[in-house]
Amino acid sequence: MIIGKTKIRVIYADTDQMGVVYYTRYFEFFERGRTELLRELGSPYSDMEKEGVGLPVVEAHCEYKRGPHYDDVIVVKSMITQIPRSTIRIDYELYDEPEKTLLATGYTIHCFLNRDGRPTKAPKAFIDLIRRNL
């Protein structure tokens, strides 16, 4: 399993009228965690784009457990558990900063697209990178 951890401080723009993080923000937190995980692996998303590979989200899920509030620090735990083919699934867990309370779980599934916007297999170099780190 490949695991990355990203800390995020909740700002007012992340919260709703009740003072808790608005439900759509969790997907933005997932994106931040995913972006940092790929960067830490040595394959930033921007490099894939330069090589003509897109990685759009084709499915997203979040199960909310407990809502963080303004100024809380949360930890996004992003995980890759399988070698990608034409899709990759990334799982997420959100915790409070000391990582004692689980706030949410979820996942995103992404498909690999070529320059023409057609589905393709994951780049060999990316697959090799995942294999080395799993």
Identify the residue whose tokens are 């759009």.
56
Structure tokens at 124: 């060999």
Instruction: List the catalytic residue out of 16, 47, 71, 116.
Output: 16
User: According to the model, what pLDDT value does residue 98 have?
Assistant: 86
* pTM over the 0.85 mark: yes
CATH topology of domain 2-133: Thiol Ester Dehydrase; Chain A (3.10.129)
Would you call 16 a catalytic residue per the annotation?
yes
For residue 116, count CB atoms less than 10 angstroms from its CB and return exposed for 0-12, middle for 13-18, buried for 19 or more. exposed
Please report, for the chain, the start and end positions of each structural domain, with discontinuous segments joined by +: 2-133
The one-digit pLDDT tens for each residue of the chain (134 residues) are: 999 999 999 999 999 999 999 999 999 999 999 999 999 999 999 999 999 999 999 999 999 999 999 999 999 999 999 999 999 999 999 999 887 899 999 999 999 999 999 999 999 999 999 999 98
